[in-house]
Amino acid sequence: MDDWRKGILARLDSVLVVFDLVLSVIFIGLGYLTGSPYVRGVGVGLVIAGVTGAIAYLYKTRVSKS
């Protein structure tokens, strides 16, 4: 396996949280540009999922250090 893939797989949790938050910003921006409340709602849902994932990731890293 390539080195860049191993690096991403080693930090997959944080990569997915960041990817989720980036997607939420894109959907919220598209929602405001198009004026669609549904697309903004998808963005808000992704923000909620991203924050929940970030909390779970921080909890996992804190518990694994203990």
Per residue of the chain (66 residues), give pLDDT as tens: 678 888 877 788 888 888 999 999 999 999 999 999 999 999 999 999 999 988 988 888 888 776
Please tell me the predicted confidence (pLDDT) of residue 6.
82
Q: Output the pLDDT for position 37.
A: 94
pLDDT at 47 (0 to 100): 94
- Look at residues 58, 23, 59 and name the one whose alpha carbon lies nearest to residue 44: 23
Q: Which amino acid, one-letter code, is at 47?
A: V
The pLDDT of residue 66: 67
String of b and e for 31-62 (b: at least 16 CB within 10 Å)? beeeeeeebbebbeebbeebeebbeeeeeeee
Determine the pLDDT at residue 52.
Answer: 92
